[in-house]
Amino acid sequence: MNRFLIKCCLAASFLILHVCLQAQEFKNDAGEKEKHFINQVKQIDEFFERFNDDSNSFVREVYKSYKTKFKIDRKTLIKSLFNYEGKSWNNVLMDSFIKKAMFVKMPTGKNWYGENWFAEANCKFQYNSSVIEIPVILRIMTDEKKRSKWVIIGIKPSPLKERENSRVPIIVRKMKTKFIDPSSHGTNFIELERDFNDKDNLSDYFDSTFFYRQNALPFYHSLINHKIKLVSVKDIKYHFLNVDDYIFTVEYFPRQTLNSGWLISDLKQSTAKQKDIYKRLLLGEQ
């Protein structure tokens, strides 16, 4: 590895990230590959680290290992978390968002909670002889002992219809023994295939509020009656409603440029009422 190259690039890369990312191309040598790996936002956890400018973030550790002073401020870090390819941003909107975002701490470590952010796992299911896509909405649930898990909280509209047996009562256990791992977002929820096949404990993976939502029962009954089978999770989108007056989404951009990985794909101003409507739509309540 060319340490000198990496060191020089580190010093410059973040500072120039938000202005000239489109021009950066991937070169197939070890130093470039490492530089790409360092700059890429590899996990949503890393997105949070950078957003918060955490003192022990991966990027700060890398700088430390190369004995390079970390001079990047939080504002620049947040700017580097936008997707700049194929998208032009309104600078005024972006700056006003960043001002608000500076007051927000994204959930990390012990404070891994999820009141105002959601994961949308776009799942491909085998249904009859075809494959259909159903967006499954998950959120982090944390108890008083700071033990957390992902739970399925809603389903976006799907072609699944109410069936006769959907009147059969659903038993939801108070003492849940099964759970979706709080880190499973790291592997794009591949464990959902296993969870959806666990028919005996299926309700454990769902939030109790799920069953009162509009699209919930046809989906749940289709799962438990083997009418649908998860093929794969196609992609993930995160929805954040935790910055005052704004809603933004984060998606994965797998490309060989420095501006890659988990990045802000959309940003809009939003009142409290608009946020409420957005949330209802997301959870399939309207």
Partner 1 sequence: MSSFCSRFLIVSLLLSHFHVYSQDKIYFNSGSITCKIIDITPAIVTYLPLKSSKSVPVLVNTTQLLFNDKGVYINPSKMDFSFKKNQELIKKFLLHDSTGLKTDYIYKTDNNVINGTIDKSKEDKNFVYLENDGTKIEKKSIVAIIYKNGHHQIIGPVSRAADVLWAAYENDFKSGRVANTIATKDSVPAIYTKTAMARERKEITAQNDITKKDTSAKSEMPLRIRDVSKSSSFDLPPLRKQEFEQKANEKVTQLTNFFKIILTKGEGSELINQAIDQALSLFVNTEATVEVSSLNKDVVSYKIKEYLSHIKIIKYERIEVTWRNVQYVSDLHKRPDGNYSGTITFEQEFKGYRDGQIVYSDVTLKKAIVILKAYEKLVDGKAEELWDVLLGDIGVESTRSL
| Lookup: tokens for 10 | 């580190």
SS3 143: coil
Please answer whether residues 270 and 278 qualify as being in contact, where contact means their C-beta atoms are separated by less than 8 angstroms. yes
Check residue 58 for interaction with partner 1 (CB under 8 A). yes
> Which region among 106-114, 122-130, 214-222, 267-275 touches partner 1 (by CB under 8 A)?
106-114
Check residue 110 for interaction with partner 1 (CB under 8 A). yes
> Which region among 38-46, 83-91, 115-123, 207-215 touches partner 1 (by CB under 8 A)?
38-46
Cα distance between residue 128 and residue 276, in whole Å: 35
Burial 5-27 (b: 16+ CB within 10 A, else e): ebeebbbebbeebbeebeebeee
CB of 241 to partner 1, least distance (A): 21
Check residue 148 for interaction with partner 1 (CB under 8 A). yes
Looking at residue 145, the DSSP 8-state letter turns out to be T
* Residue listed under structure tokens 């959902």: 192
CB of 136 to partner 1, least distance (A): 17
Near partner 1 in 68-87, by CB under 8 A: none
SS3 232: strand
User: 2, 7, 8, 42: which one contacts partner 1 (CB under 8 A)?
Assistant: 42
Near partner 1 in 183-222, by CB under 8 A: 183-184, 186-188, 190-191, 193-194
User: 132, 166, 181, 249: which one contacts partner 1 (CB under 8 A)?
Assistant: 181
Check residue 173 for interaction with partner 1 (CB under 8 A). no
Burial 75-87 (b: 16+ CB within 10 A, else e): eebbbbbbbbeee
